[in-house]
Structure 1
């Protein structure tokens, strides 16, 4: 059996206690309930407080869960709400486009795929939920970098590797792509990440009109493009899907 880290186990126990008990607990209550020495409990609480996971009431000295823990929880819920709201619309997009559909969010300097709808045919396909895609070369990544300031910084500050001969690595040229993406409301990737593959993506916004993800159609270049250009019908379909998901998240009509 793998060994566990005792301090982390104890910190988790403190958080569970604060989450499941009274709204605020004193040091003595926490120490006695968990069977810890007061000095040990105080050290754990001080560390959790410094990280924002625990807050101490100035008047009573009692402890409660902190705002940082709430933020992390909301982040988890936001991703799952995004996926739940997108299920029907992404299924419809896959049927109408005849191509695979992906839903992605910013995660660790890349794009995390949180939902994947297979291309509606009998071809063998692999589920890519949980896979990571590059920020700088994919349509999903370009959309996130264009609309999300954090994603923009990640894309500009990280090394933009040339994955194919079409990958844009020059900073000024890449910034120009992001400006174009914001101007027209969608991004494309034509063999910039994988040879023979093209993609179109549009942003998804929440009730605060903040970018929370992107939706994309991906398929063979010969199907996504016509006469060397992205097919307008697919652009319209992807943008309609992104707007529909955004409306379901409370963004309103735009």
Structure 2
């Protein structure tokens, strides 16, 4: 690969450090890995792979199950990840908006960011009724195609990313077609909506959040419990959620919503 050739030509590139980081990247797709799998993924022998893995374990970046001998990510990776998330402008800026919104409306809110081919929940403020049912938690990683809380990141991603992601899914043809249509409709109306997709009994409305360069950086969702006595609830959530999204986008320096006509 051209990337590997570029690395070999880079006199400042440290191969050992690069290999150690490559091991950590392998866990983007797998929860656990064996030593042979790691060695194969690196294209090196088991002895070199073992030394790298042993070093990562010593520093707390990997742990090994004593029974299965499988490796998984250690707490140091988690701590670094949360440090990175805490420093993100979108979480810092949105946090007070989420709490103020909840105090006014008692509506549950969630903030997610792209994390590779998945969604990472970085903040949430939930009502008592929603919180008992919700399966989305801060620090949780979720598939992009499940629920408006996460799917909004896919719906408003670049066409290149979206098409590549859809090709990677192993879904029945009919389900894939429906997902593609849902994403298209979400883009057209400016928000995504799902019902009973991620959590039974809940609906969610998702809105994109952009930075000052109008790059998609997060997804905001508002959600609630199905209430047959309030058929207009969803539309109210759409209006209130959109206003919250506008406030956060404005604070982020984005003019995305000012260019939309509702």
TM-superposed deviation, 1:47: 3.1
Matched residue, 1:60: none
Aligned residue for 2:152, secondary structure, equals helix
Matched residue, 1:177: 182
Aligned residue for 1:222, secondary structure, equals coil
How far apart, CA to CA, are the structure 1 residues paired with 2:87 and 2:154?
Answer: 18
TM-superposed deviation, 1:142: 2.2
Q: Pairwise CA RMSD of aligned residues?
A: 3.7
The match for 1:187 among 187, 192, 206 is 192
TM-superposed deviation, 1:136: 1.0
How far apart, CA to CA, are the structure 2 residues paired with 1:226 and 1:47?
Answer: 61
Residue-by-residue CA offset, 1:78-100 (whole Å, 9 max, x unaligned)? 96211011012111222333232
CA contact (8 A) 2:133 2:199 kept: no
CA radius of gyration, larger in = 1
Matched residue, 1:233: 236
Matched residue, 2:247: 244
Unaligned stretches of 5+ in structure 2? 1-9, 22-80
- Tell whether 2:15 aligns with 1:47: yes
Unaligned stretches of 5+ in structure 1? 1-41, 54-72, 163-167
How far apart, CA to CA, are the structure 2 residues paired with 1:169 and 1:197?
Answer: 24
TM-superposed deviation, 1:125: 8.4
Aligned length: 185
CA contact (8 A) 1:160 1:169 kept: no
The 3 A distance-change label for structure 1 pair 96 and 184 is farther
Scaled by the length of structure 1, the TM-score of the pair is: 0.60
Scaled by the length of structure 2, the TM-score of the pair is: 0.59
The match for 2:93 among 60, 72, 85 is 85
The 3 A distance-change label for structure 1 pair 123 and 246 is closer
Aligned residue for 1:137, secondary structure, equals coil
TM-superposed deviation, 1:194: 1.8
CA contact (8 A) 2:130 2:225 kept: no
- Tell whether 2:169 aligns with 1:159: yes
Aligned residue for 1:128, secondary structure, equals coil
CA contact (8 A) 1:101 1:218 kept: yes
How far apart, CA to CA, are the structure 2 residues paired with 1:170 and 1:123?
Answer: 29
CA contact (8 A) 1:105 1:213 kept: yes
Residue-by-residue CA offset, 1:25-72 (whole Å, 9 max, x unaligned)? xxxxxxxxxxxxxxxxx9873438989x9xxxxxxxxxxxxxxxxxxx
The 3 A distance-change label for structure 1 pair 230 and 132 is farther
Deviates more, 1:244-253 or 1:173-182: 244-253
The 3 A distance-change label for structure 1 pair 174 and 80 is same
How far apart, CA to CA, are the structure 1 residues paired with 2:246 and 2:236?
Answer: 15
